[in-house]
Chain A
């Protein structure tokens, strides 16, 4: 009689990677297990001995070592080991010793290999070659509809095309007839010579896409300005056209609307317009409130109204994560929201203080500049002023401006920067020439203070005002840093200050020295050191990108990293960032103040395994970096 070995089966079914197996496979697995007891202190696997079984810890605790004797991992109930040997040469790579009285279930290789074949989840979990992190991250993407749905699927009708010479009244009449809220304005290619905008329609006729006119434009640019109904479209059309390709994802379309603050997005196949995507099309498709939130921010009449939106930001964040957004989507949406607050505060300040006496650029530093903002964030900002700036004459204005923005942001939940990296600090409210001197000095003389500044200010982006100022500074960094081996070596060393833990053991964080902690700050021990090391490589290759993932794209075009390493870093960053985000969502839902800490007790089995792998990626990448950027000898 076949008897279910319930004790064995139930236990294994609760732990990854067995938790995803079918009932039949679990029955078979449980029936084929072999059991052995190991007293505390006994060796379970010794280096290089043949191994033909996967080991599963039913009870007790086991330490795993590296070839050189260093502690590699500490495993407890429900953990597995030995899989690396089974996937390679069937010899023990990592010796193991019981550190408590331990009961091991041995799974025969034959069963192990079969589970790898028939169950993808199982294979992804145990496989080293096809990185587990990669599989997990891709799985998360796959499950996320917005990432794969192409915008053309959201189009419900062809665009309304009207000739540039038609009157606004004609356009309005056509819009009314067709019941649409925008027209695409076209011209004969002979008149408008822009080959990038010339397309051939289905009848074989060539047109040039001139621009777009929306019903809001009708109101603001025609009626409000008192223009006549006979005004030709060419005089009121928006020519700075933001478009999207038809095979881009809905997510891309959303980002484009957010970034450019537009509600209509012409969808093109190559250069031919297929339709116009409206904000409401996306909303209908995916209720997503960060879009509403942004437009809400810009319609607030004062700082108090802005501050009242803080709960909405959190709600949007939670919804986004539940809808399957990945860390890049969350980071970029939160950054856009943060930028919108900043921009609105600047607009309000200018209304009150009057126009600026000299041009300025309000810059964001850190996570906002990288488009990686989290829900737990402080403000890092600075002002770059036109070189015509005269402190005696103008600084009172800019101090007041900075003060209003900084106070406003604090009220909205973007707390004051503890390190005083804010435009209210006179040191960070300087003309462009001074900023250039700062940056050059930091690169030429990399002392600890300068390195700290570099790691903050070299992630920079314009939020409002003269974008060109910020771009000049980005250029300076990109050109100067890549040619300064001493600076790169110093930055590389600086980026090693924060290291990842070894992994988790039961309810503790295992440190490399064997110490155990109750919680871990995933930013300090995970995402921040990854971002730091990506920055160093990005500086070395002269990348102008600010976003860590985009920097990795630039790095991938160089030989700076061994093949495949960049992808590993990307998956590690995405995974750790996502765990952090998920735990923040749990904090918010359980009405706790979200923070960057996670408690290992709240980490699921598979999260634990994947985090361990991600930490390992970080640790290896840090080791590599030390050798990649050696300190140049001064004698030469």
Chain B
């Protein structure tokens, strides 16, 4: 007699019974079950109990699901009926599906982007869970700065690091590639790698072979491995490129292998298309000292990838870092003659896995997190809105439901019909969401998320993401349908009649609450958009000290071609002359290093009479060709405005002059002599003083700027052209390209863009965020407006008679309209107050992205509130006008 039914089934029976009979009936069934076990055996009793449980499910509140799963045919009929119903209410169906689609689409794209940037496995790499990235960093100071590791130090690390199956290293090298005679040179992102790199990552090959240890040996024949993508761009048959000779930086190199599939190295985003072994170091960098690979004092490798003998854990990563630092200490002790660990502050830092560069991981994570937060807010808003919509629908269709109930329809049938509608709308919304996600994804795939290349270039919507879009849409619409389902508990005809005579709308209070939530969420989005928008506007309004429009820039890499000072001078003079002669060009100059980015070369100047131990004035140094001042359009304070970059002269910014020769006026400084080396070792004459300019990081105060002739520069790694145009910035780009091809046929021209675009790249991340926040804000605003309109309109419909009677009793139409607007204002004001509080509390999340605008900026808040109020008034205006026009005569006739 102790037999009890299976616990799961018993729980189902319990759940489907009303509370008052739950215990007693369960006990009764238990007794019957025990009887059946005794008479017919346990299996038969279990089978009987299962059927009993199914019966309870079918008949109970759980009957909704029961009737869906136990009666798919009827559900299909419900779906058909729902589809017919949608055709009768196209506005509702469209609003619902669009709201759902926009929110879900945005969430999908953001999650796809997060997946693409942060979570996606690096393509073509096997066993990534065994990999750890090592970098040499300073144990103080910013994490972004990494130092190069010498080749012998790497070899020692490889020999002595315990618990690993392999150690490989890479360094980025961008090269000029010419695939064949007649082909024009192009810039290709590449990597210098150790020969074991491909086997360590488990890369597969479409043709040829990876590097062998022999390829690393000094004096070995020059070899390269290229990606399938690059091979495809060279020949129709990618495999045929293996074995061919290509020209890299003007030198002939044999392609020994073509990697398979999507392999583009260990980094994300996957941009690397070409790999060279360390023996080809001089191809990549002709100025590398001859003993580069044998000296411990010359850094070669930027990043080390380690494959562990077991899957990594956080503790294991820390152990690897400690072990690597142990090796470094022993190297310091053994090789006192100098090694690449230039100072004691250097130590190895270990990062789990490969992929996104460790220095940008946290900032990218923050950006993606912020976007995800905004998208989640939008989804919440959409769900609130959908709930509101379905509530309105449920209340307007309540009489119909009550009549069906009175005619004998089961409650579960009514709920099943409602569920069918939800499923239908969810599927429609999901389908539309996919389209939106695909379009948005394509657009974002072409955008650059940050200056450091954490782009979502090439992003694709993967099948998994597409499926989850659909699921999110269905879940969101099911969530939206939950509230009406609860409210759809029908109290019978009398309850409905009571409501219809008092003009009360079912769930009205819940809908007001949802409207408040919507308003508060859209306020948060609007304020965020406003703050970021102002940041971008502030950044674009910064006075750089020169006119930013009507100028273009491009880059060349003379160092990779091994040009010495004299040959470089010829190329530069020739190019400047050709560029200046182009129609539509006002003036053109060349400058090193590339300006308008966030970097510069530090340069120093010293007063000639300064004591030997005095530190010079350190600032941003630029080496320029003769027409630089006029091409950039710098404001010259004093001296030679037509300075031609004559040797032995220098141009200082006002800030640099004030520091190196305090108290000397710009006018008096002209012709004075200072030194660019300590102890007056290299004297130069001040030819001009210019206003402070921001040629590098525009958000910092202008540094002291020291401009010298290009001929004075030792090695020039990146050379940029600045072309001031008569018409629009990019109008001359084709002619510029032709001029470069004529003056320097082996050189590839890259990073070709307007100066405005080059400067904007510094804050592209904030631009993307501002645009995303603005888009989300506008969508949120629209959603809130639609929601509010729904609430007010249905309230007016429910009070039709009341309003008519009041008009008949003499209420002025304006007063009636005012009262209707007031109906919408109450929840809106609550929403604004709550939303302001939430936004104020959470605003520190965006603080790091703001420039020259406080996160509690009253103007932005006021602006957002005003916009919101205006939209609220508009949303209420239509029902208000309708209410004011209600004709008392018609209402009274209906009485």
Q: Answer whether A and B are interacting partners.
A: no
Binding site for B on A (CB under 8 A): none
